[in-house]
Amino acid sequence: MIHQQGNRFFFNVDWITVLIYILLCTIGVINIFASIYNPDKVIGIDFTTNYGKQLIYVITGLVLGLSILLFDGRLFNVFSPFIYGATLILLVVVLVIGRKVAGNQAWIPLGSFRLQPSEFAKFGTALLLARYVSTFNPKFRDFKSIFFAGLIVAAPLLLIMLQPDTGSALVFLAFMFPLYREGLSGYFLLIFLGMIVLFVADFLVPTYILVIIISTLGGLFIFANKRKQKVVFSTILVTLIAVGYLFLVKVAYTKVLEPHQRTRIELMLGLRTDNKGAGYNVIQSQIAIGSGQGLGRGFLQGTQTKYGYVPEQSTDFIFSTIGEEWGFAGCAVVIGLYIFLLLRLINLAERQRSTFSRVYGYCVACILFFHIFINIGMTIGIIPVIGIPLPLISYGGSSLWSFTILIFIFLKLDSNRMGFI
């Protein structure tokens, strides 16, 4: 069996996904080069610069990915609890000995390299979740299965919250979608959506007006269904919870969130304008992207990004370089590639015979999706500033390697799809 798999190795790997992976990494290197480009300094391949380092990360990443393809796919299933456990330990370790960067205790220094455990916690969690679902085959109709799945996700999430790295923690919400695919009620997604809507509405409209609106809607619904006792009861419950949530948001907002987080949310909601302070990043990023217009200023011609108007240029705000130098056309190509990748990953996941592979595939796609949506949304001002990288494009070894591992494990599982794991 193992022998056979080795023979079919090249036929079964989805090379289209690998191609998109390489394309996105290349786009990343080119744009990191552009964002640090200085016409006064002669540039060869210089491995001390960010783009030189990124080149090394890409090459080592590719080697790492290809070597993952050489593993026996079953190992990931077997070792998933250990990998999950190891990432949890790293998350605890980082809280103890980690280095603070920009207020977040997220990095473990390893020589000249800094390890970011939260990046690796993603695939650890994805593996264990896949293992749990494939082993117990729960349909998430009962409290127990939801509780265990939730626990697997919540443990790393809470540890990351302690760093505190809200952005990375937020990505763990992506695991809701694989669970939904496996049977979790769509109501959970709706409730989640409702929570976001109410949260935003709570800032834009006075709370008492929202309370009146919700109570009226609840009242009307009860009136329409007054003969069905069960419906009346649950409607009252939902209405009460919603109203309670509104007040909770207000309290949590002032008591729990850090001032800079509050500022970011207010900026995003347009409740506050601030061109120089916290709003500077978003405004400058939007200016840079907008000034690219249709076809962009051209490679290395960006002024906003090159002259340091956009901060964190090659990491979280790399998309603004793409927007400025390549314009709407370039943005559309990048987003197009991402969406193609995501849709393909879902299709690949659906063709798996093993539940483990399918759940894991969904996890990969949805984690990527969260990163892409939050990162791009942040640079164009439709999401508050949350510092998470743009997959495969942003500068950074931890991030690039963790996405590489995520994707290539799935490609390995996919190349094994005919076998049973």
Partner 1 sequence: MDQLFNRKYVVQGLFIVIAIILLGKLFYIQIVSDKAFVSAESNVLRKIYKYPARGAILDRNMKVIVQNEPVYDLMVIPNEVKPFDTLALADALGLSFEDIGKKLRKSKIQSNYQSTFFERQISVESYARLQEIMYRFPGFRTQDRTIRHYPDSIGGQIFGWVKEVSQDDIDNSDGYYRPGDFIGKSGLERSYENYLRGERGVINTLYDARNVAQGSYAQGKYDVNAVSGDRLISSLDIRIQKLGEELMQNKVGAIVAIEPSTGEILAFVSSPTFNPNKFVGKNWGNSYMDLIRNPYRPQIVRPIQGYYPPGSSFKPVDALVALQNGAINPTTTFFCPGYYVAGNHKVKCEHVDGTINLQRGIARSCNTYFCHVFQNIMTQNGIKNQRNTYSKWHEQISKFGFGQKLDIDMPYEKKGKFYTADYYNKLYGNRWGYTTVISQAIGQGEITSTPLQMANVMAAIANRGYYIKPHLIKGIGDNHTVKKEYTIKNSVGIDAEYFQPVIEGMRDAVNSPWGTATLSRIPNILMCGKTGTVQNPHGKNHSVFIGFAPMDNPKIAIAVIVENAGYGSTYAAPIASYMVEKYLTDSVKNGRMAEVEWMKNQNLLPDLITKIKKPKVFKVDSLNLKKTDSLKKLKDSAKVKSANAVKLDKTKVLSQENKNSTKVQGNKR
Tell me which of 181, 264, 371, 412 binds partner 1, using CB under 8 A. Answer: 181
Q: Interface with partner 1 includes 290 (CB under 8 A)?
A: yes
Report if residue 304 touches partner 1, rule: CB under 8 A: yes
Q: Is 152 buried (19+), middle (13-18) or exposed (0-12) by CB count in 10 A? A: buried
> Using an 8 Å Cβ cutoff, are 114 and 99 in contact?
yes
The structure tokens listed for 400 are 């690039």
Site string for partner 1, 250-289 (x = CB under 8 A): ----------------------------------x-xxxx
Encoding tokens for residue 217? 């809607």
Kindly state the smallest distance separating residue 313's Cβ from partner 1, in Å: 10
Q: Helix, strand or coil for residue 109?
A: strand
**Contact range with partner 1 by CB under 8 A, out of 81-89, 144-152, 233-241, 341-349:** 341-349
Whole-angstrom distance, CA of residue 332 vs CA of residue 292: 13
Q: Does 303 bind partner 1 (CB under 8 A)?
A: yes
Query: DSSP state, 396?
Result: -
Among 18, 335, 355, 419, binds partner 1 (CB under 8 A): 335
Of the two residues 95 and 191, which places its CB atom closer to partner 1 in the complex? 191
DSSP 21-51: HHHHHHHHHHHHHHHH--TTS--S--TTSHH
Nearer to partner 1 (CB atom), residue 266 or residue 324: 324
292 in contact with partner 1 (CB under 8 A): yes
In 10 A of CB 160, how many CB atoms? Answer: 26
Q: How far is the CB of 371 from partner 1 (least distance, A)?
A: 12
Smallest distance from partner 1 to CB 180, Å: 6
- Whether the Cβ atoms of residue 24 and residue 337 lie closer than 8 Å to each other: yes
Q: Does 339 bind partner 1 (CB under 8 A)?
A: yes
By CB under 8 A, name the one of 28, 73, 218, 327 that touches partner 1: 327
Q: Which of 22, 146, 238, 342 binds partner 1 (CB under 8 A)?
A: 342
Distance of CA 320 to the CA centre of its chain: 18
State the nearest-atom distance from the C-beta of 373 to partner 1, in Å.
5
Contact between 185 and partner 1 by CB under 8 A: the answer reads no
Q: Is 187 in the site for partner 1 (CB under 8 A)?
A: no
Strands 113-115 and 99-101: unpaired
Burial classification of residue 336, based on how many CB atoms lie within 10 Å of its CB (0-12 exposed, 13-18 middle, 19 or more buried): exposed
> How many CA atoms, within 13 angstroms, populate the side-chain half-sphere of residue 42?
1
Convert residues 376-415 into a mask of x (bound to partner 1 by CB under 8 A) and - (unbound).
xx--xxx---------------------------------
Of 50 and 304, nearer to partner 1 (C-beta) is 304
Neighbours of 248 (CB within 10 A): 13
Q: Which of 123, 309, 356, 408 binds partner 1 (CB under 8 A)?
A: 309
Count, residues near partner 1 per rule CB under 8 A: 45
Shortest Cβ distance from residue 37 to partner 1 (Å)?
12
Give one DSSP letter per residue of 234-302, joined into a string.
HHHHHHHHHHHHHHHHHHHHHHTS-HHHHHHHHHHTTS---SSSTTHHHHHHHHHHHHTTTT-S-TT--
Cα separation, 398 vs 121, whole angstroms: 11
Single out the residue of 20, 94, 346, 406 in contact with partner 1 (rule: CB under 8 A). Answer: 346
Contact residue for partner 1 among 84, 369, 395, 408 (CB under 8 A): 369
Nearest to 340 by CA among 368, 363, 359: 368
d(CA 294, CA 310): 20
Q: Is 232 in the site for partner 1 (CB under 8 A)?
A: no
Q: Is 35 in the site for partner 1 (CB under 8 A)?
A: no
**Smallest gap from residue 82 Cβ to partner 1 (A):** 29
Q: Would you tell me which residues interact with partner 1 (CB under 8 A)?
A: 177, 180-183, 186, 284, 286-294, 303-304, 306-309, 323-324, 327-328, 331-332, 335, 338-339, 342-343, 346, 350, 362, 365-366, 369, 373, 376-377, 380-382
